[in-house]
Amino acid sequence: MKKLFAAILALCMMMTACAFAEGTLTMGTNAHFPPYEYYEDNQVIGIDAEIAAAIAAKLGMDLEIVDTDFDTLVPSVAAGKYDFAMAGMTVTEERLQSVSFSVTYATGVQSIIVKEDSPITGVDDLYAEGAAYVVGVQQGTTGDIYCSDDFGAERVMQYKTGNDAVAALVAGKVDCVIIDNNPAKAYVDANEGLKILDTEYVEEEYAIAINQTNTELLEKVNAALEELIADGTVDAIIAKYIPVE
Ligand code: ARG
């Protein structure tokens, strides 16, 4: 009797374990990118974390967030390591070669952060004949890719996170940082003596990266996201983290 009970118990436990595994969506991100994803009390919060939670809720699934290096996200999604990646990630032709993207849910603009007393006044100064300014970027981001193309690898210093790039600017190791506008604002607010230049570098659209073979998940995520956009949930989440001035 005891044995039978133990066997039934073990079976139940196995079944719940499987049910849970099936019911969990794993999201890869790089959680050093406020207001999209960042830590508060050891928890990843932000626009992406909340939209992802709302999508998971619609699909009746749990959400697990894995924090890793940004430049590993696209290859990891392509390799099936995460169900999706959400990281203020810009849709690019190159990334579309290896992953699918959902409908877009936000836009970003690559902005330039400088020290308050910087001689750099706009993007033209970076392109000027003989200019030798060194740009700090987060490795593998669109900011990195554009700057390396435009100014040459020798004028670009890559860092693991945006925070690290900004710390290098504060320490005088680079002349400016090029990064998405909303994280740029958060970094400037968190550090003395920095400002964002009025000029915009490149405009882009954010979406969720999903494995190319997982068309079922892509369709489900798109359906959920479209509903969340239509009913104002996405706007409300964005407004919560980016108050309009
Ligand atoms: N939008 C840029 C890109 O896609 C930067 C994203 C960085 N995201 C992050 N969570 N660190 O390359």
Q: What is the mean pLDDT of residues 13-22?
A: 49
Instruction: Answer yes or no: is pLDDT of 193 > 80.
Output: yes
The overall average pLDDT reported for the chain is 93
Q: What pLDDT, in 10s, does the model give residues 29-54?
A: 999 999 999 999 999 999 999 999 99
Counting from 1 in the atom list of ligand 1, the atom nearest the Cα of 204 is 1
Q: Which residue has the tokens 């990118």?
A: 33
- pLDDT for residue 2: 66
Ligand 1: centre distance to CA 2 (Å): 55
DSSP string for 138-202? ETTSHHHHHHHHHH-GGGEEEESSHHHHHHHHHTTSSSEEEEEHHHHHHHHHHSTTEEEEEEEEE
The encoded tokens of residue 194 equal 């920095």
Model pLDDT, residue 4: 65
Instruction: Calculate mean pLDDT across residues 184-199.
Output: 95
Q: Encoding tokens for residue 209?
A: 């990266």
Whether the CB of 166 sits within 6 Å of ligand 1: no
Give me ligand 1 centre to Cα 220, in Å.
24
Residues near 92 by beta carbon (within 8 Å), at least 6 away in sequence: 142, 145, 204
Other residues' Cβ atoms within 10 Å of the Cβ of residue 184: 25
pLDDT at 208: 98
Ligand 1 centroid distance, CA of 125 (Å): 24
Please give the Cα distance from 140 to 156 (Å, whole number): 12
- Is the beta carbon of 88 within 6 A of some atom in ligand 1? yes
Task: Give the pLDDT of residue 8.
Answer: 61
E-state strands within the chain: 24-29, 38-40, 43-45, 62-67, 84-85, 99-101, 106-115, 135-138, 156-159, 176-180, 194-206, 209-211
Q: How many residues does the chain have?
A: 245
Tens digit of each residue's pLDDT (9 = 90 or more) over 158-179? 999 999 999 999 999 999 999 9
- Tokens encoding 163: 């925070």
For residue 28, the CA-to-ligand 1 centroid distance in Å is 12
